[in-house]
């Protein structure tokens, strides 16, 4: 086991022999690390925190710290991370609250760039990229394969749909449609599908064409959302069905 002499590992913490703990790291008594994790230096792991295998955590990241919620009174809530995440400098991930389900979750294969904040009770899926200083307020859900640009704040209880791309500086106060491009440069509006990103993920031309038809009904026609959904149901494919279901269950309304 490689633990630097300046690191502090509390009694009770689980740190496998395959892990590397760098200088001045602090690991609390209820932290459980998976195999082959690397803590570069000055990392703080606190609270009831479970971290999967092969995560790399850079200096001054704080994971499992108390939530920024004045209602929190020290209840035993949790933080859970999956495998093979890259967590860069000064990232903060707050543990959950009793009122929000009690768990903050991060999936696997994500890149969290410098100064990203994941607030209490938020759920981030897998294969996501959160760029520098992207910030999630409490109770946010980010689905799989999302790219969230730099300096993007996401309001409480918002949902960002799978495969969405959000441009830097966009203020997100409503749900973001799956497969969409949304940008502050377009007045915080969705303006079509994330075509390049979807091509890179192996979407066929036929899938892209069907999604483009659905988005034309939704964004470029004179139909309201209900009418657009009726037309979208005439299209075949799981992607359109996922898009329609996302719109129907949205609680905050969607960015169009």
**Sequential DSSP letters for 2-51:** EE-TT-EE-TT-B--TT-EE-TT-EE-TTEEE-TT-EE-SS-EE-SEEEE
pLDDT per residue as tens digits for the range 193-231: 999 999 999 999 999 999 999 999 998 888 899 999 999
Give the closest residue to 111 by CA, choosing from 124, 127, 94: 127
Do the beta carbons of residue 60 and residue 39 sit within 8 Å? no
Q: Is the pLDDT score of 185 beyond 80?
A: no
Angle of the 238-249 helix axis to the 205-215 helix axis, nearest 10: 30
CATH number at residue 51: 2.160.10.10
In sequence order, which residues have a C-beta less than 8 Å from that of residue 213 and are 6 or more positions away? 235
Q: Among 3-7, 134-138, 154-158, 216-220, which stretch is predicted with the lowest mean pLDDT?
A: 216-220
Residues with catalytic roles: 120-121, 138
Is 234 within a domain? yes
Per-residue pLDDT at 187 exceeds 70: no
Residue 187 lies in a domain: no
Q: How far is CA 119 from CA 94, 200, 202, 222, in A?
A: 5, 30, 32, 38
What pLDDT shows up at residue 191? 81
Q: What does each C-alpha distance from 6 to 10, 24, 91, 134, 150 come to in angstroms? A: 13, 5, 21, 31, 33
Residue 188 confidence (pLDDT): 66
Q: Is residue 154 part of a domain?
A: no
In a domain, 158, yes or no: no
Q: Crossing angle of helices 225-232/238-249, nearest 10°?
A: 150
C-alpha separations of 185 from 150, 167, 189, 198 in Å:
13, 8, 8, 21
The answer to whether residues 34 and 117 belong to one domain is yes
Write the pLDDT tens digit of every residue in 140-159. 999 999 999 999 999 999 99
Say if residues 14 and 31 touch (Cβ distance below 8 Å): yes
Same domain, 24 and 134: yes
What's the domain range around 227?
198-249
- pLDDT value at position 221? 87
Rounded CA separation 196/180 (Å): 11
State yes or no: pLDDT of 251 exceeds 60: yes
Would you tell me how many other CB atoms lie within 10 Å of the CB of residue 237? 14
Query: At residue 186, does pLDDT exceed 80?
Result: no
- 6 occurs within a structural domain: yes
- The helix (H) or strand (E) run that includes residue 210 is helix 205-215
- Asked if residue 138 and residue 206 are part of one domain, the reply reads no
Give how many domains the chain has, as a whole number. Answer: 2
Q: Is residue 153 part of a domain?
A: no
Residue 176 pairs in a beta bridge with 160
């Amino acid at each position: 086991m490689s633990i630097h002499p300046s690191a502090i590992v509390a009694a009770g913490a689980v740190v496998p022999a395959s892990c590397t703990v760098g200088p001045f790291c602090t690991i609390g008594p209820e932290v459980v690390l998976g195999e082959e994790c690397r803590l570069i230096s000055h990392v703080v792991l606190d609270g009831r925190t479970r971290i999967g295998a092969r995560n790399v955590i850079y200096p001054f990241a704080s994971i499992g710290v108390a939530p920024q919620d004045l209602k929190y009174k020290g209840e035993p809530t949790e933080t859970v991370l999956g495998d093979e995440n890259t967590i860069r400098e000064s990232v903060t991930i707050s543990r959950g609250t009793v009122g929000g389900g009690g768990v903050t979750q991060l999936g696997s294969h994500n890149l969290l760039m410098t100064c990203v904040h994941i607030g209490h009770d938020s759920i981030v899926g897998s294969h996501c990229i959160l760029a520098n200083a992207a910030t999630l307020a409490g109770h946010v859900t980010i689905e799989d394969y999302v790219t969230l640009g730099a300096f993007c704040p996401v309001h409480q209880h918002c949902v960002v749909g799978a495969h969405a791309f959000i441009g830097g500086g966009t203020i997100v106060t409503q749900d973001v449609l799956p497969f969409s491009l949304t940008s502050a440069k377009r007045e915080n509006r969705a303006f079509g599908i994330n075509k390049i990103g979807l091509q890179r993920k192996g979407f066929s031309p036929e899938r892209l064409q069907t999604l483009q038809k659905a988005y034309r009904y939704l964004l470029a026609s004179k139909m309201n959302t209900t009418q657009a959904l009726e037309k979208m149901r005439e299209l075949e494919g799981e992607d359109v069905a996922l898009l329609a279901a996302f719109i129907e269950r949205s609680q905050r309304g969607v960015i169009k």
